[in-house]
């Protein structure tokens, strides 16, 4: 089970909170594995939630990178798109395995490992870069013209 650590903090509390939520959700993929397979109803809702929540999280975070003028904004966006594709493909694979009676247990564990490794790597290599820029703009409300 993956544990959150201080090393993963970007210093922007809402980004950190969303990352914790994502990791928590990814960890559920391991919890739904049972002796004789997986709970397919739970698995489907975890994957669907992940797609919805990561879209929500990524757009919030991208807005922050953009406002803070972080030069890693485009790279961040591209990586986010590949994560979404990864989870969408996983959803299709899940349905195929469910229909054919394939190894859903192995699939859930592999997916959990794959997604958590991706997310932790991405947080450390890309999300962390925002630390060097002025993130106070991320807390400001809708932009107003100054002066």
At its nearest, how many Å lie between Fe ion and the CB of residue 76? 5
* Between 45 and 124, CB nearer to Fe ion: 124
Residue 127 interacts with Fe ion (CB under 5 A): yes or no? yes
3-state secondary structure of 144: coil
Residue 116 interacts with Fe ion (CB under 5 A): yes or no? no
At its nearest, how many Å lie between Fe ion and the CB of residue 10? 9
Size of the site for Fe ion (CB under 5 A): 2
d(CA 28, CA 15): 20
How many other β-carbons are positioned within 10 Å of the β-carbon of residue 90? Answer: 20
Contact residue for Fe ion among 38, 76, 116, 130 (CB under 5 A):
76
d(CA 117, CA 43): 19
Residue 18 interacts with Fe ion (CB under 5 A): yes or no? no
Please provide the distance, in angstroms rounded to a whole number, between the alpha carbons at the two ends of the chain: 51
Count CA atoms within 13 Å of residue 64 on its CB side: 26
* Between 116 and 127, CB nearer to Fe ion: 127
In this structure, are residues 131 and 11 in contact, taking their beta carbons and an 8 Å threshold?
A: yes
* Between 76 and 116, CB nearer to Fe ion: 76
Stretch that binds Fe ion, among 8-16, 30-38, 39-47, 121-129 (CB under 5 A): 121-129
- Site residues (vs Fe ion, CB under 5 A): 76, 127
């Amino acid at each position: 089970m993956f544990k959150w650590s201080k090393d993963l903090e970007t210093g922007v509390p809402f980004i950190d909170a969303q990352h914790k939520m994502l990791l928590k959700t990814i960890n559920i993929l391991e919890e739904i594995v049972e002796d004789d397979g997986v709970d397919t109803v739970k698995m489907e809702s975890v994957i669907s939630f992940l797609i919805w929540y990561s879209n929500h999280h990524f757009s919030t975070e991208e807005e922050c990178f953009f406002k803070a003028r972080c030069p890693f904004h485009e790279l961040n966006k591209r990586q986010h798109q590949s994560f979404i594709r990864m989870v969408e493909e996983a959803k299709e694979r899940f349905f195929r395995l469910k229909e054919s009676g394939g190894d859903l247990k192995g699939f859930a564990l592999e997916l959990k490992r794959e997604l958590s490794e991706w997310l932790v790597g991405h947080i450390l290599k890309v999300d962390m870069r925002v630390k060097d820029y002025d993130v106070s703009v991320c807390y400001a409300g809708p932009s107003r013209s100054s002066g």
